[in-house]
Amino acid sequence: MSALPAGLLLFDTGIYIRFSRQKRYLWLGEDARVFQRTILTAVVAAELYAGTRNASEKRALDQLCQAHHALNHFSYPLASTWIETGTLLSRAP
């Protein structure tokens, strides 16, 4: 594993998928220090839930989300933030 930057960590959905399905980035689940520094976003969680293939995967994801909530490391934007984002990304004049 290459050195991770100091401070909080934010991973894209693809990292979690590779970790769970391809057994890559194993340090994500093996190193408690990394987990304790990781922020899980609602967007990533939603994408992961959409990709679950069975009840076992859903339960594992439920546990992951609960663990991030317990650490106060679960991030979710307000509705106004989503609306502002859409407006900023809009192609309308």
**What's the confidence (pLDDT) of residue 67?**
92
Per-residue pLDDT of the chain (93 residues; tens, 9 = 90+): 567 888 999 999 998 888 888 777 777 777 888 889 999 999 999 999 999 999 998 998 999 999 999 999 999 989 898 888 888 888 766
**What's the confidence (pLDDT) of residue 1?**
55
**Is the CB of residue 67 less than 8 Å from the CB of residue 35?**
yes
Every domain of the chain and the residues it spans: 9-89
User: Which residues sit opposite 74 in a β-bridge?
Assistant: 40
